[in-house]
A and B are shown apart, each in its own frame.
Chain A
């Protein structure tokens, strides 16, 4: 077998186009192609290797999925399995079936990451100088034989342990954790290998875990591979079907046809939907709950979706209201993540609480909003905006939704308006929220909290979106309020068409205690109206008194001028 990574790279395009710098190619590829709701990354070979190399250095667990048509079929039938794929750090296409499914929707996944070629090539690249690998799965003895083949191919591949797939219990996880591999290859077949990784990754904490299917059998020489010409002609599946017809006929003939059918239906219904009425929220909000996900994995997914801020300066705006240890921790994780992902970018923290956290230790600088400049607004005619808004940067806002007597549920829109309050605007909250949304909407908003508001024992949750108003709608739904009941959302809706919020977002738990009771809101509103009325009356009375005081002087002057005439 000739598995040189150069040969593989030849087939990939995104990372190896001549004349295109790797950075630019990576940025172009930083979007996601959704096929049957599974988010594939359209990376080339080099870009994928670099992405995975980054995961190795991050010290956090990642799940890399090589998804073929069978994977898609499993994901279509099983929602929980699909969620595992959606939560994965990287999903790469494996095989011609996925390519066809993508093509049906008019999309393209240039590089084919055939697991049997890609994984050894990836390990060879990571093995400069050395990579610690654990092989788990396949029949007894197969993983050992595969380990020998890998070691023979490249001295830097250090196999730190093997385990056959006939025992999958907790002791396997304990063994893996003990030897601390950098890469874990799991060969239990779809969908078990992905489920096993998702279940055990929180405890084993391996930087990169990959489900590799029948890789060990190939490496051990137990199953022959198709001849090179057949693989190049994308016909390896025909060969495999011929070799193992009883095991594979259903998967290849029925399964692949089903996937292509579903993909065709999805592509057709996508085309039929008018762009004005597409309910998009679940595609534009990523959420996760502490039990099954981490903020880092969500951020990885946000990166896969192309949501991460770009440019050479990023401002992380940390909301002051509702500040908690969770919020600060969330902001710190974000800053650390951005620092690692964008090593050259300048990261500034605009901490609106004025708290004493040391951001410099995380490689960020603390900044102030600057003085206020008056501009002509729409909802607020005389608006003061921070000078910072006249500078060039990408903005990420981190906040905790919370109950509020004025806003019922103060969300991302209200958090953004805090920057306006910081420069002295004292207007109605919803009007300010609209102005902040109009003039300085965040490129990315991250909401965090506990399933029960303020209850540190409840499970933590996070939601990420490139749309402030979308995030607020989704959080309101989860908190049991119709989004249009939030004054800030209504203020935005008065000026622009809101994206519809149809389905609940997966992995966002039901939120309790996040909405102020309706009567409190009504009372607060009445009190605000009363205060405004009294203030106006007082001003009118003062002005009337001043004008009455002018009358005697005016009369005197008139009389005097008449006398003089």
Chain B
């Protein structure tokens, strides 16, 4: 099967640090072009990553590429994605997929009507330790899931970022909840394999921010599982996702993709050897994500991230922000 010609829209930190290196490493990908609103920066990035062309407008990709990574500020995701899909380009859209439920629905509809594929870049799902955790949960090693807890984030200033859109509501569409919290909500929905029936939310604001800088979300799922998820732009968090079940628990590091700690009183190895610290082998989650995207597109198979899960995740965010629900409206 021929390689997918890829374009990258938005050359910020996520593209230059993760997506472009992952695309270059992937054998199924030919990097065809990069796009950035700043044309000179786009040209520099194209030179650095060996892309033959660079543009200032994403529409230039239509007809030139098979697929594109959309990694622009959050409020632009929906328009860019819909235009690319309509132009016959498969899209891997960075998280958060969009800032409102209406946008998410519009994007999913655009994909359905265009016969092109759309996947949201919830990269943590492709982290080897979390993928193994999902397998453990699905195989029942931990019993029925009763509780999940996770925390992610740290002081915002310590990270180098080229586009500082996150502080402003009109670009980001929300605060730490949509930036980091969305990872945790997506993981919780995925691991619980159920839709949240109840949502509780609390947040805090730092001076100089239009959006929340600290968020805590409580979820109750239809199957009875509960989750407490914390995301912060101010406090260092544990960066770990813990799942407790009726038969044991497991904690996966969100920063060290090979670390997973497990105890299950059903597992023979834990009954004899106690808590096990697993060292999970596997590639970078961005590499795995791109490889999965390419494989699913080429074989026309469903993505690991399902539209219903994306809808459930944006529903939680909408409810946290107190927006009226689609079915309530």
B277 touches A392 (CB 8 A): no
| Bound complex: CA A196 to CA B267 (Å) | 48
Kindly provide the distance from the CB of A375 to the nearest chain B CB, expressed in whole angstroms: 5
B278 touches A391 (CB 8 A): no
Kindly provide the distance from the CB of B113 to the nearest chain A CB, expressed in whole angstroms: 40
| Bound complex: CA A376 to CA B260 (Å) | 11
* B266 at interface by CB-CB < 8 Å: yes
| Bound complex: CA A391 to CA B258 (Å) | 21
* Across-interface contacts of A382 in B (CB, < 8 A): 279
B269 touches A389 (CB 8 A): yes
B132 touches A376 (CB 8 A): no
| Bound complex: CA A375 to CA B132 (Å) | 13
* A146 at interface by CB-CB < 8 Å: no
Stretch at the interface among A13-21, A132-140, A438-446: A438-446
* Across-interface contacts of B266 in A (CB, < 8 A): 391-392
A390 touches B268 (CB 8 A): yes
| Bound complex: CA A438 to CA B272 (Å) | 7
Kindly provide the distance from the CB of B277 to the nearest chain A CB, expressed in whole angstroms: 4
Kindly provide the distance from the CB of B245 to the nearest chain A CB, expressed in whole angstroms: 13
Kindly provide the distance from the CB of A509 to the nearest chain B CB, expressed in whole angstroms: 32
A392 touches B280 (CB 8 A): no
Answer whether A373 and B267 are a contact pair too, CB < 8 Å, given A390-B136, A438-B272: no
Kindly provide the distance from the CB of A358 to the nearest chain B CB, expressed in whole angstroms: 26
* A385 at interface by CB-CB < 8 Å: yes
* A393 at interface by CB-CB < 8 Å: yes
Kindly provide the distance from the CB of A510 to the nearest chain B CB, expressed in whole angstroms: 34
* B235 at interface by CB-CB < 8 Å: no
Query: Which B-chain residue is minimally distant from A441 (CB atoms)?
Result: B272
Interface string of A353-378 (1 = CB under 8 A from B): 00000000000000000000111100
* A395 at interface by CB-CB < 8 Å: yes
| Bound complex: CA A462 to CA B281 (Å) | 41
* Across-interface contacts of A391 in B (CB, < 8 A): 139, 141, 266-268
- Cross-chain pair count, CB within 8 angstroms: 48
A392 touches B279 (CB 8 A): no
| Bound complex: CA A392 to CA B265 (Å) | 9
B281 touches A393 (CB 8 A): no
B268 touches A392 (CB 8 A): yes
* Across-interface contacts of A438 in B (CB, < 8 A): 272-273
Kindly provide the distance from the CB of A370 to the nearest chain B CB, expressed in whole angstroms: 10
B interface residues, how many (CB within 8 angstroms): 20
* Across-interface contacts of A389 in B (CB, < 8 A): 267-269
* Across-interface contacts of B141 in A (CB, < 8 A): 390-391
* Across-interface contacts of B281 in A (CB, < 8 A): 374
| Bound complex: CA A395 to CA B264 (Å) | 17
B279 touches A374 (CB 8 A): yes
Kindly provide the distance from the CB of A535 to the nearest chain B CB, expressed in whole angstroms: 22
A interface residues, how many (CB within 8 angstroms): 16
Of B266, B272, B276, B280, the most chain A CB neighbours within 10 A belong to: B276
* Across-interface contacts of A393 in B (CB, < 8 A): 268
Kindly provide the distance from the CB of A433 to the nearest chain B CB, expressed in whole angstroms: 15
* B32 at interface by CB-CB < 8 Å: no
B279 touches A439 (CB 8 A): no
Kindly provide the distance from the CB of B204 to the nearest chain A CB, expressed in whole angstroms: 38
Kindly provide the distance from the CB of B270 to the nearest chain A CB, expressed in whole angstroms: 8
* Across-interface contacts of A385 in B (CB, < 8 A): 269
A375 touches B272 (CB 8 A): no
Query: Which B-chain residue is minimally distant from A385 (CB atoms)?
Result: B269
B267 touches A392 (CB 8 A): yes
Chain A positions 382-401 with a Cβ under 8 Å from a chain B Cβ = 382, 385, 389-393, 395
* B182 at interface by CB-CB < 8 Å: no
* B316 at interface by CB-CB < 8 Å: no
* Across-interface contacts of A375 in B (CB, < 8 A): 269, 276-279
* Across-interface contacts of A376 in B (CB, < 8 A): 276-277, 279
| Bound complex: CA A440 to CA B269 (Å) | 6
| Bound complex: CA A390 to CA B261 (Å) | 13
B272 touches A390 (CB 8 A): no
- Sample 12 A-B pairs with CB under 8 A, ordered by A number: A373-B132, A373-B278, A375-B276, A390-B141, A390-B262, A390-B264, A390-B267, A390-B268, A391-B266, A392-B266, A393-B268, A440-B268
In the A-B complex, list the 7 residue pairs whose CB atoms are closest, starting with the nearest: A374-B279, A392-B266, A389-B269, A390-B267, A439-B273, A376-B277, A439-B269
A residues bordering B, Cβ < 8 Å? Answer: 373-376, 382, 385, 389-393, 395, 438-441
**17 additional A-B residue pairs with CB within 8 Å, beyond A374-B279, A391-B141:** A373-B278, A374-B258, A375-B276, A376-B279, A389-B267, A389-B269, A390-B262, A390-B264, A390-B267, A391-B139, A391-B267, A391-B268, A392-B266, A395-B268, A438-B272, A439-B273, A440-B269
B residues bordering A, Cβ < 8 Å? Answer: 132, 136, 139, 141, 258, 262, 264, 266-270, 272-273, 276-281
